[in-house]
Structures are given as C-alpha cells and as structure tokens.
Structure 1
Amino acid sequence: MSYQDEELPDSTLQALALALKPAELSESVRRRLRERVLQQAHEVASTGTFTVRAGEAAWIEIAPFIQMKLLRRDQAAGNQTVLMRMQPGGIVPPHRHAHEEEFLVLEGECCIGDLQLRAGDAHIAAAGSWHEAVTTRTGVLVLLRGEYPLPCTG
C-alpha cells in the first residue's frame, strides 16, 4: 500500500510520535535556532504593508548641509514621506506649499522663520501657505510628509 498522496493512519502517527526522542541540543545551537526562527517571523510583513529598513534607503544630498532619505513616494497622489537631516548652517529657502505638509522634529532643533521647533514638535503647513526659511544652529532630523515634487521656492 502506498501513502504517497494519502494521510497516514492515526495509529501509525501515534506510533511514530511515541518512538521519537527529543534531540539533545547544546545551548549555542538552541540560541542560533531561536534567533533564526525569530528573524524569519519578523521578516514577514502583513499584507498591504511595507517596511523600509534603516540601511536600505540612501541619504541624498539635496543642498549644502542638507540630506534627504526617501521613505515613500506616491506620484499619483503627489506626495511623499522623507527624512531630512540638516547640519548646522543648512538652510531650506522660503517656499509655498501646494499641498499640506507635516513636519515632525525627531532630533535636534530648527527654526521656521522665527518659530523655534524642538524634538517632538510637529508643524503643519496648510495647502497654499508660505514657509519662511528653515534653519538650524544645532543640526536637526525631521520626518516630512508633503508634496512631490518638492515645493517651489520664491
């Protein structure tokens, strides 16, 4: 009798289960197996989601003392999510927003005109609003969700 495409009878499965003896694994082998299982479990993203790992997206210099890392871009909707890192002396020129922008300070401090923002502060610019220059004396890391392409200056 061939069980190639059929299930084994319960009695056979029970006999096999009783005959099995747990493998004796060293602590280092247990640890490696556990790490491998956990890594694979964390690498599976839920349907409809995606993850950008810290080392995956490249920092791109967009102006002196200013770098940007693209996290997501939706060309059809005309928006994007980026990290922007400014070093002391960096300046984002004054600009107008065609769409709403969300500006969240993650680290450091910056000024938008005379408005000072610190880590944890969020600044929302409505569509049609004018932004004064963004500057920093300490350096700053911000999360921006706003229009794509970038807003016009002048």
Structure 2
Amino acid sequence: MNKNITTNKPESLDFDLFLELFQATPDLVPNPDTKSHIKAKLMQRVAQSQGAQFFVFSEQGHWKSINQGIQIKILKSDTQAKSFLLKLEQNTIIPYHDHQKNEETFVLDGEVWLDGIHCKNGDYHFAGAGTFHKEIRTENGCTLLIKTY
C-alpha cells in the first residue's frame, strides 16, 4: 500500500550530492572594485566587533550647515550613539527642545548659555534622556563636542 504523505518539512540535500555540486562549481574571482568593497565591509565589521579604535583628524570629514548659524561635523554615528561637533556662529540661538537620549556637551571653544547657565571653554553639561533644554544661545560663537547615547 502506497500512501502519499505531505509534510511541511523541506527535504535535505544528501551530503555526498552537496559535495559533488560544490566541487563542480567553478571558483569566481570578483573584479578589483568588488573585492576592495567586500574587504572594506569585512574589515569594518571586524573592527566593530572588537571595540575598534579610529581617529578623525581636524582636516577629515566635513562641516554641514543644518540651520542658519549652525554647522555640524559627525565624528561617529551608529544605532546606539552619536558623537559630533557643533559650531554656533555669534548670536545664534537653538530653541527649546527635548532629549530622546542622554546627551553630554563639552565646550571646546567660545562660550554658550545652556539652560540659563553660562559655560566657557572646558565646561561640561549632561542632559538625561527625557529632559528638556531651554534655549541654547551664544553671543560670541562657540564649538561644542556633543555625544548622545
């Protein structure tokens, strides 16, 4: 008696057949651009998995204007954290805003008013996730190092 039984289980490939197919498949050599791209991606993943070190020198990267009087230069950005420089020209104001993540601000150059507190070179400010900033303003301009996480 022959019964047809249907299952949702996929059939597995016989290992000997798999080896024959593998050995019969010709080696493919990617073109130099593809090879270079694959290597760069692989090295990036290896570096990320090992708590990589890297540098961003002052002449590297680029400043992007995000609003009148405000420029940003991203140093590092991933799904968990972002580090960037923020340059505010003289008489610039960033309005009231909230923080989705923790934010650390370090004044590298100039002076700025953060939540009504006057901060100068070397001053540090922490704003926790869920908190609000009153306006941020500068009369003479400043450069800030900001990290969110």
The normalised TM-score by structure 2 is 0.63
Percent sequence identity is 30
Secondary structure of 2:75 counterpart: strand
Unpaired segments of 5 or more residues in structure 2?
1-50
Q: Which runs of 4+ in 1 moved over 6 A?
A: none
Secondary structure of 2:60 counterpart: coil
Please name the residue that 1:97 is paired with.
99
Report how many residues are paired: 99
Please name the residue that 1:32 is paired with.
none
- Pairing 1:43-122 to 2, within 5 Å after superposition: 48-75=52-79, 77=80, 79-122=81-124
Q: C-alpha displacement at 1:49, in angstroms?
A: 0.7
Q: C-alpha displacement at 1:113, in angstroms?
A: 3.4
One-letter amino acid matched to 1:124: F
> What's the CA shift string for 1:18-54, capped at 9, x where partnerless?
xxxxxxxxxxxxxxxxxxxxxxxxxxxxx82111121
Secondary structure of 1:84 counterpart: strand
Unpaired segments of 5 or more residues in structure 1?
1-46, 148-154
Secondary structure of 2:148 counterpart: strand
One-letter amino acid matched to 2:69: F
> What's the CA shift string for 1:42-79, capped at 9, x where partnerless?
xxxxx82111121111000011111010000012x1x2
